[in-house]
Amino acid sequence: MKGAAGPSDEDAAVWCEAGWYEGSIRERIRLTVDSAGRVTAAVTGREAEPGDLVLPGVVVPAAANAHSHAFHRILRGRTHTAGDFWSWREQMYSAAGALTPELYEQLATAVFAEMVVSGYASVAEFHYVHHAPDGSAYPNHGMELALARAAVAAGIRLTLLDTCYLSGGFGADGVGTPLDARQQRFGDADADAWLERLASLQAAVGERFDPEQVRVGAALHSVRAVPEAALARIAQRLPAGIPLHIHLSEQPQENADCLAATGLTPTGLLHRHGLLGPRLSVVHATHLTDADIALLGEAGATAVFCPTTEADLADGLGRATDLRNAGVALALGSDQHAVVDPWLEMRALEYGERLRTGRRGALAPSDLHFAASDAGARAQGRTAPGLEPGKACDLMAVDPHSLRTAGSRPDQLAFSATAADVTAVVVGGRLRARNGSHTLLGNPAALLREAIAAVDSAAAPVHEPRLEGTRRP
């Protein structure tokens, strides 16, 4: 199953009618792409040659999705009318309870295909549905390899963030409270058991997949789900050189509980155990203190904002420009997939800052494209996408003359385009989508309908009534 991620055994060429090149929009750009899918040369003002992959419109780096939970896609259109994060979480648990490796592969294939046609070339999948509902292990990393196969089928680069999830909340003496029945499939016996499973998964993925296609990273679900004693152990044993992600300060209650249990904020707790650093990506980072922001900036960490999810769940507005000014890279994720649209995530990042600060233009279009592509790739430990030599040839072309974009300046498409305007997506020099259709899988909407119906059928006897409710237990 291991295969090359590049276009072929020989160099290929991609011609862009116009594109985002070296910080500005340039015209008629011809790219040479090697067998590994990297741009080796770029010349502006050139015409296309026979055999070139021709991309009309305006070409920009493809998006790198820095935070995804693929199975949350089931909840779109079902959980938006009332309640809060905690009531939404109850419905999420119901969806998770129905998954098997076979169902998850089907669903993730559809979700990843939706990402590709929308402009994403890579995704960091924050994965914690490891085991069967009773907590017993699937043989041979069944759930994890199902996600890897789904990514290969969809042609998206996957960083599989295997997630440590050990407790249901803060407890005494740094131990944490036991997982409840719905969380059993997320957990491992302890930090060492998770580290051993992570190492085994790295070996299994390395044997089966090209790392340009699928690679393994690590995640800690949150400080409430990984007790302090486990954080200390993980800090000692976590392999060097792999990305590390964590949900951080998404909710005020998490901060209050962490302060009560440890005397520190979640960021301060990570700092105590030496877990802050350039490989760390903190997801949401919505409710931070000034001291938290300074620590993250000094560490050179990345903050992954998921603006459409944070708005849907009423999480609040994070301090994006304060983080950026402190030295934290800003990346973007689609999280629960209430929306799969990198253009809307970019726009919502800047609009959130406008609402928070009362000022316009804190994040320029170049900043938004960087967050959507370069910083997201960095969060995955991957080469940044783009048109310049040395970058991954991961691109999306946009129609600048659509109903939404007509009249837009090409360098301001971040404020007018949507995924509906994406006319082509290239991953590693290969065309993966054209006009909303996946080149290998066809219409993702049909795949999604079938996959969601299959999960609903499996969940219906127990879980479907709960998906309709929003009451907090």
* Catalytic residue set: 284, 335
Count the residues in the chain. 473
For residues 335 and 37, what is the distance between their CA atoms, to the nearest angstrom? 27
- Interhelix angle 142-154/101-118, nearest 10 degrees: 30
What's the 3-state SS for 212-223?
CCEEEEEEECCC
For residues 269 and 280, what is the distance between their CA atoms, to the nearest angstrom? 14
Q: Which two tokens stand for residue 430?
A: 């290969």
Residue with tokens 């309908």: 449
Contact assessment for residue 266 and residue 285, using Cβ atoms and an 8 Å cutoff: no
Q: Which two tokens stand for residue 174?
A: 């740094």
Contact assessment for residue 221 and residue 246, using Cβ atoms and an 8 Å cutoff: yes
State which H helix or E strand residue 125 sits in: strand 120-127
Amino acid of residue 458: A
Q: Which of 182, 188, 186, 200 is nearest to 230 (CA)?
A: 188
Q: Which two tokens stand for residue 443?
A: 């219409």
Q: Give 24: exposed, middle or buried? Use CB within 10 Å, 0-12, 13-18, 19+.
A: exposed
Chain-centre distance of CA 197, in angstroms? 22
Tell me whether strands 157-164 and 120-127 are parallel, antiparallel or unpaired.
parallel
Amino acid of residue 397: A
Residue with tokens 């407890």: 171
CB atoms within 10 A of CB 373: 32
Q: What DSSP line would sit under 36-98, residue for residue?
A: TSBEEEEEES----TTPEEEEEEEEEPEEEEEE-GGGGGGTTTS-SS--HHHHHHHHHHHHHT
For residues 410 and 398, what is the distance between their CA atoms, to the nearest angstrom? 10
Q: Which of 111, 90, 117, 18 is nearest to 423 (CA)?
A: 117
State which H helix or E strand residue 329 sits in: strand 329-332
Measured distance between the N- and C-terminal CA atoms of the chain, rounded to whole angstroms: 45
